[in-house]
C-alpha cells in the first residue's frame, strides 16, 4: 500500500471510529448531564439521523495527527505533555468553532448553545468545554492512542474491512443528503423570520409537543410526528422563543439594567 492510500485509509478509519464513539459519548452526556434535557430522555444528538457525529470524527483525526508532535523545546516530560494537550484542546476548539459558525452563517441554525457559559464566543465555544477537550485529549493520548495505532496496523493487514468503511460512508452520504434537506426547510423558516434557530431547543419543543399529544417521541427522527408538521412545530418553537425573550426583557427591567 503506497503512502497516499495509507494516510487516506487511516483518516477514513479514524473519522469512522471518532464519529461513532462521539455519538455514543453525546447520547450519554445528554441523557444524564444536559440542562436542555431536564426530563432525562434518550436523545439522538447532532443534526444527522444515524449514529455518528462528524465533529468528533474530524477531532479524532486531528488528535491522531497531533499525537505525533514532539514538543522538543520543552525538556521536562510532564510540561511537554501539558503543552501538547493544550495544543490539542485549542485545535479541537477551532474545529468546533468553524463547524458552529458555518451552520449559523450558512444555515441559520445553532447546533449547540453555550450562551450561558462564562467566556463564550458567539455561544459556540467557551473555556469550560475547551478544558473538557483538554481532558479528553489526555484520555485519548494515554488510553486510546496506543490501541488506535494497533488498530491501524490491523487495518493495513485486513483490507477487507474497507468494505465496512465503504458501507458506512455510503449510508453517511445518504444521511447527510436527507438531513441537509430537512435543515434547508428550517433555514427557510429562519430566513423568513429573521432568526437563528437553536437546534437543541427546537428538538426539545417538538418532544414537548409530542408528549402533550400523547405521541411517542422518535429517537432517530427528531422531527417525526403523526399529527404536527415541521412547519407547525417551527411556529410553536418561535412562539416559545418570543415568550422566553419577553421574560428575559422583563427580568432585566426588574433588575434595573434595562432601558
* Cα separation, 78 vs 68, whole angstroms: 16
Q: Is the pLDDT of residue 18 over 90?
A: yes
Spatial neighbors of 141 by CB under 8 A, at least 6 apart, are: 63, 67, 81, 84, 85, 88
More confident residue, 24 or 72: 24
pLDDT at 226: 67
For 191-228, what is each residue's pLDDT tens digit?
A: 999 999 999 889 888 888 888 877 776 666 777 766 78
Tens of pLDDT, residue by residue over 44-74, are: 888 898 999 999 999 999 999 999 888 777 8
Q: What is the pLDDT of residues 141-157, one digit of tens each?
A: 999 998 887 877 787 77
Q: Write the DSSP string, 81-114.
A: HHHHHHHHHHHHHHHHHHHHHHIIIII-EESS--
Residue 28 has pLDDT above 60, yes or no: yes
- pTM score, whole prediction: 0.88
Residue 119 pLDDT class (50, 70, 90 cuts): very high
Amino acid at each position: 500500500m503506497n503512502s497516499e492510500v495509507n494516510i487516506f485509509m487511516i483518516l477514513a478509519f479514524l473519522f469512522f471510529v471518532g464519529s461513532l464513539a462521539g455519538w455514543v459519548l453525546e447520547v450519554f452526556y445528554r441523557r444524564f448531564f444536559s440542562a436542555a434535557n431536564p426530563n432525562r430522555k434518550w436523545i439522538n444528538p447532532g443534526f444527522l439521523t444515524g449514529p455518528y457525529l462528524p465533529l468528533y470524527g474530524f477531532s479524532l483525526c486531528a488528535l491522531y495527527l497531533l499525537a505525533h508532535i514532539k514538543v522538543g523545546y520543552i525538556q521536562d516530560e510532564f510540561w511537554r505533555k501539558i503543552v501538547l494537550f493544550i495544543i490539542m484542546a485549542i485545535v479541537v476548539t477551532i474545529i468546533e468553532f468553524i463547524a458552529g459558525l458555518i451552520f449559523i452563517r450558512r444555515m441559520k441554525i445553532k447546533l449547540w448553545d453555550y450562551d450561558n457559559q462564562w467566556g463564550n464566543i458567539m455561544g459556540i465555544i467557551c473555556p469550560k468545554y475547551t478544558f473538557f477537550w483538554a481532558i479528553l485529549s489526555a484520555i485519548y493520548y494515554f488510553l486510546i492512542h496506543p490501541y488506535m495505532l494497533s488498530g491501524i496496523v490491523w487495518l493495513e493487514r485486513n483490507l477487507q474491512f474497507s468494505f465496512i468503511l465503504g458501507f458506512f460512508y455510503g449510508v453517511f452520504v445518504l444521511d447527510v443528503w436527507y438531513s441537509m434537506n430537512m435543515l434547508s426547510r428550517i433555514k427557510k423558516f429562519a430566513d423568513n423570520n429573521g432568526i437563528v434557530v437553536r437546534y437543541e431547543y427546537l428538538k426539545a419543543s417538538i418532544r414537548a409537543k409530542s408528549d402533550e399529544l400523547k405521541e411517542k417521541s422518535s429517537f432517530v427522527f427528531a422531527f417525526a410526528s403523526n399529527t404536527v408538521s415541521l412547519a407547525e412545530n417551527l411556529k410553536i418553537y418561535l412562539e416559545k422563543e418570543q415568550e422566553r425573550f419577553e421574560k428575559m426583557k422583563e427580568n432585566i427591567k426588574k433588575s434595573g439594567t434595562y432601558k
